[in-house]
Amino acid sequence: MSIRLAGLLALAASLAWGAPKRLVILKVDGLPKDIVQKYLDERDPLSGKSRLPWLDRIFRQQGASVDNFYVRGISLSAPSWSMLDTGRNLVIRGNAEYDRYTLRVYDYLNFFPFYVGYARAKRADMPGVEVLDEAGVPLLIDRYPSGERYQSMQLYQRGVSWETLGGTLVHRITSRTPGQLFNEWQLGFELGKGVNEQVERELIAKLADPNVRYLDFFVGDYDHVGHLTNDAASQYGVIRQLDTLAGRIWTAIQGSELADQTIFVLVSDHGMNTDPAVISQGYSLIDFFGSAEGGGHHVITNRHPLTEYKLKGLDPFVSEVVTPSAHSFYLKDQADDYPTALLDLDGNERACVQLRNNRLNELQILLQRPRDSRAIFQLLDEQRASWERTLKELDEELGALRRLIARLDATVKSTSVKWAKSHRKEGAYLDLRRQTAQLHSWQEDEVGYSAYARALARLLRMEPKQFESSKPKTDELIPKRVMGDPNTIYDLQNYAVGPGTDGFRRVNYFELITGVRVRNNVQAQVSSKPVDFVAVRCPVEAPDEEGIWVYESETSQALILSRRGQSGLELRYVPVQGLRQDRSGKVTYTEQPWRDGLPLRIFEDPQLSVPGDRAEWLSGWHTDREWLEAVHQTAYSNAIIGLQEELSRDLPAPAVPPKSADEIVLRRFEERKRHLAQADLLILASNHWNFNTRGFNPGGNHGSFFRISTHSVFMLAGAGIPEGLRVERPYDSLSFMPTLLSLTGLASPDELKRFPGPVIDEFDPNRHRSETAEASLYNCCR
């Protein structure tokens, strides 16, 4: 599939509409717009210039800036860059994701396994790219043939440039005099800086090659420092270095042959909730879920808690760590076999939680008491229809997958030849590696899902007579290392954590999590409540609508409804209270009028911008565009859109639609895998709180919908970009790629319309010219 896709994209690139322009993108991880704006506006008393003189010169004086550019979805690197790099809705929703059926970990941030896999010819792309490829979602870089692009090291990286790594080591030494090396040794060498220097060196060299039409440079320094310290001087130091880097790139662009055809872009994936006066406080959800009150879960995370204090923390390949609970009520000492909670805590202002399916818990607890065989079969009968349907569908999907694996295996084997070193950078070689990686991935899925299907079948085959002769072995019936189907709201409100007086000891996670309070809170600006709210998908009656339930307390709740209308996505916020779901799935709640103190604090926010009566406007259906314009300046910015984006089960349509029967079934399998990687619970931290357990992030965090975390940087300069333009109208990540495609002439107007996000048409030179002409005429007439 990826070969066909690449071919189409290359063809599209070669048949570009209009004169395609060169694109140079400076990608900065976590750079907050507000902080950049502050320094842009401040004057250096010594020079009288902006404190960020190059960004001021390039993007404010000679270029344009989107002043209200937001992350759509969660303000987290992997999801956010995926949206910027594809222009499509979310496929990847966290920095780490887990498949509920197989516990396969999608560890999007870990470079080490990728580099080693690449060296062993088993991988071709970073894990995020592999997932997007499987979902049929192309990247911006795919628009350019491999010889016309230069990509730096980043999350959505295709291939590895060993020359960059090799050059880093060599140039780190050869570009310095012995004196400089001595000085740097005394101050402490920094390898990361060496990599950046090498990438810069290569990028500037590539700018001299007119055949290279796409170049990017990913910088993660600000995000790193912003997490570690809220010290304004330290953060400014990094931003100032970035400013100078932009200056050097811009100067090189100006000196290049394609200077007048080059667009230079500065973009960040999210902001950073950092305040020089406040230290971000951490709360450990691992400890919470492992505690007796939290359910005594054995918890899986993608990294070791307190990594820096463990020898195991030095293992760069780790993607799964089990933290056993000493308080488990029915799975004591079975942490490796029966982990029951999966946490993705990255970004740290939010956590994605997947808990083992409540019915599996109940079944396992009942199996530990074989006298309750009637209850066991009652439970099995309750699940039978759903599990049989799953089993039937899995059977079809695995059949199609096996046929696909056989075909691909034959292709890979037939094309596996010894490649000459000189040919190892060519597209065909990388495509073969890509196919090999794809084959391994599908084989892994086939093994995992087959095992799950067998376990499900075993459960469904279970009969009462098995209980008559001997006690059935729990571990033969309950699949190990499986989370099962996602939990419903009922499950999460009545989660079985162990045997209890009336059958089960149950926990209501909504009340429990939002009820957490801490004693050690020494900052007046920080509340003693680490959790702001919890959000989950909620079934709604209308078949064409999706619902998201936002729970802050028993009396402060909301339902965010979404549907596809004539003009695209439409959303509605319904204040509710007392929402409950019964075991059959029926949801009940009481609507309440708009008032202060509801989740997301929209109603009382002075920055809310709606025409007429607030309550009236807020009670209606509005498109995502209308919501964005109304709420983007509020404390929670575009949370209402972001929550829908993060929790929706919708996936972007593949670039190449499935045609054959197998392709259609495999598409369903792909959708299943993505749904199984989604969270049961999305937990959002209160302001200046974080859930980091890997270490400590006192400087700042992101991941929430607070405006400071979602407000990102998008600035442009160069060919065709109006000078001095400041776009006030709000836009989000979905507009990034179509806007660049429009500006570079790489997509037709028809294709641009198929993107879910609008093109930022303020950059349209025709529109700008006509507006300027209008303004001139107006001034003349005055």
Q: How far apart are CA 371 and CA 608, in angstroms?
A: 59
Is the Cβ of residue 45 or residue 593 nearer to another protein in the bound state? Answer: 45
Is the Cβ of residue 438 or residue 704 nearer to another protein in the bound state? Answer: 704
Q: How far apart are CA 772 and CA 765, in angstroms?
A: 10
Is the Cβ of residue 193 or residue 369 nearer to another protein in the bound state? Answer: 193
Is the Cβ of residue 245 or residue 453 nearer to another protein in the bound state? Answer: 245
The answer to whether 457 and 477 are in contact (CB under 8 A) is no
Tell me how far, at minimum, the Cβ of 307 lies from another protein, in Å.
10
**Three-state SS annotation for 130-174:** HHHHHCCCCCHHHHCCHHHEECCCCCCCECCCHHHHHHHHHHHHH
Is the Cβ of residue 237 or residue 399 nearer to another protein in the bound state? Answer: 237
Is the Cβ of residue 55 or residue 453 nearer to another protein in the bound state? Answer: 55
The answer to whether 710 and 70 are in contact (CB under 8 A) is yes
Question: Any long-range contacts for 368-373 (C-beta under 8 Å, 24+ apart)?
Answer: 368/330, 368/474, 368/499, 369/499, 370/467, 370/471, 370/472, 373/464, 373/467
Contacts of residue 150, Cβ cutoff 8 Å, sequence gap at least 6: 202, 203, 206, 212, 214, 215, 216
Is the Cβ of residue 180 or residue 588 nearer to another protein in the bound state? Answer: 180
Tell me how far, at minimum, the Cβ of 93 lies from another protein, in Å.
27
Tell me how far, at minimum, the Cβ of 696 lies from another protein, in Å.
4
Is the Cβ of residue 237 or residue 765 nearer to another protein in the bound state? Answer: 237
Is the Cβ of residue 20 or residue 296 nearer to another protein in the bound state? Answer: 296
Helix (H, G, I), strand (E, B) or coil at 326: coil
CA distances 23 to 258, 291, 362, 460, 669, Å, are 10, 52, 56, 57, 36
Tell me how far, at minimum, the Cβ of 496 lies from another protein, in Å.
26
- Tell me the CA end-to-end span of the chain in Å, nearest whole number: 61
Q: How far apart are CA 702 and CA 30, in angstroms?
A: 8
Tell me how far, at minimum, the Cβ of 241 lies from another protein, in Å.
5
DSSP 277: T
Is the Cβ of residue 49 or residue 374 nearer to another protein in the bound state? Answer: 49
Tell me how far, at minimum, the Cβ of 170 lies from another protein, in Å.
13
Tell me how far, at minimum, the Cβ of 157 lies from another protein, in Å.
23
CA distances 548 to 14, 99, 418, 641, 682, Å, are 43, 21, 53, 11, 11
Tell me how far, at minimum, the Cβ of 194 lies from another protein, in Å.
10
Pairing of β 545-551 and β 557-565: antiparallel
Tell me how far, at minimum, the Cβ of 311 lies from another protein, in Å.
6
Tell me how far, at minimum, the Cβ of 349 lies from another protein, in Å.
15
Residues binding another protein (CB under 8 A): 44-49, 51, 53-54, 57, 171, 175-176, 179-180, 182-184, 186-188, 193, 196-197, 200-201, 204, 225, 228-234, 236-237, 240-241, 244-245, 247-248, 251, 276, 279-282, 284, 287, 308-311, 313-314, 517-522, 528, 695-699
Give me the phi and psi of 85, to 5 degrees please. -80, -15
The answer to whether 535 and 550 are in contact (CB under 8 A) is yes
Is the Cβ of residue 287 or residue 650 nearer to another protein in the bound state? Answer: 287
For residue 413, with 0-12 CB atoms within 10 Å meaning exposed, 13-18 middle and 19 or more buried, which class applies? exposed
507: left (phi over 0), alpha (psi -120 to 50) or beta: beta
Is the Cβ of residue 89 or residue 692 nearer to another protein in the bound state? Answer: 692
Helix (H) or strand (E) holding 676: helix 661-676
DSSP 686: P
CA distances 310 to 131, 314, 316, 361, 692, Å, are 31, 7, 12, 32, 16
Side-chain half-sphere CA neighbours of 223 within 13 A: 21
Of 82, 73, 74, nearest to 127 by C-alpha is: 82
DSSP string over 18-62: S---EEEEEEETT--HHHHHHHHHSB-TTT-SBSSHHHIIIIIIS
Is the Cβ of residue 211 or residue 234 nearer to another protein in the bound state? Answer: 234
Tell me how far, at minimum, the Cβ of 519 lies from another protein, in Å.
4
Is the Cβ of residue 581 or residue 693 nearer to another protein in the bound state? Answer: 693
Is the Cβ of residue 216 or residue 221 nearer to another protein in the bound state? Answer: 221
Residue 394 tokens read as 């899995």
Find the DSSP H helices in 595-638.
614-618, 624-631
Other CB atoms within a 10 A radius of the CB of residue 370 amount to 14
Tell me how far, at minimum, the Cβ of 400 lies from another protein, in Å.
49
Tell me how far, at minimum, the Cβ of 48 lies from another protein, in Å.
6
Of 292, 314, 295, nearest to 303 by C-alpha is: 314
Q: How far apart are CA 281 and CA 288, in angstroms?
A: 15
**Three-state SS annotation for 165-178:** HHHHHHHHHHCCCH
Is the Cβ of residue 187 or residue 417 nearer to another protein in the bound state? Answer: 187
Q: Please, what's the largest Cα pairwise distance for the chain?
A: 99
Is the Cβ of residue 54 or residue 101 nearer to another protein in the bound state? Answer: 54
Side-chain half-sphere CA neighbours of 589 within 13 A: 25
Tell me how far, at minimum, the Cβ of 51 lies from another protein, in Å.
7
Tell me how far, at minimum, the Cβ of 689 lies from another protein, in Å.
11
Tell me how far, at minimum, the Cβ of 521 lies from another protein, in Å.
6
DSSP 348: B
Is the Cβ of residue 248 or residue 471 nearer to another protein in the bound state? Answer: 248
The answer to whether 734 and 92 are in contact (CB under 8 A) is no
Tell me how far, at minimum, the Cβ of 346 lies from another protein, in Å.
17
Tell me how far, at minimum, the Cβ of 693 lies from another protein, in Å.
10
The answer to whether 642 and 271 are in contact (CB under 8 A) is no
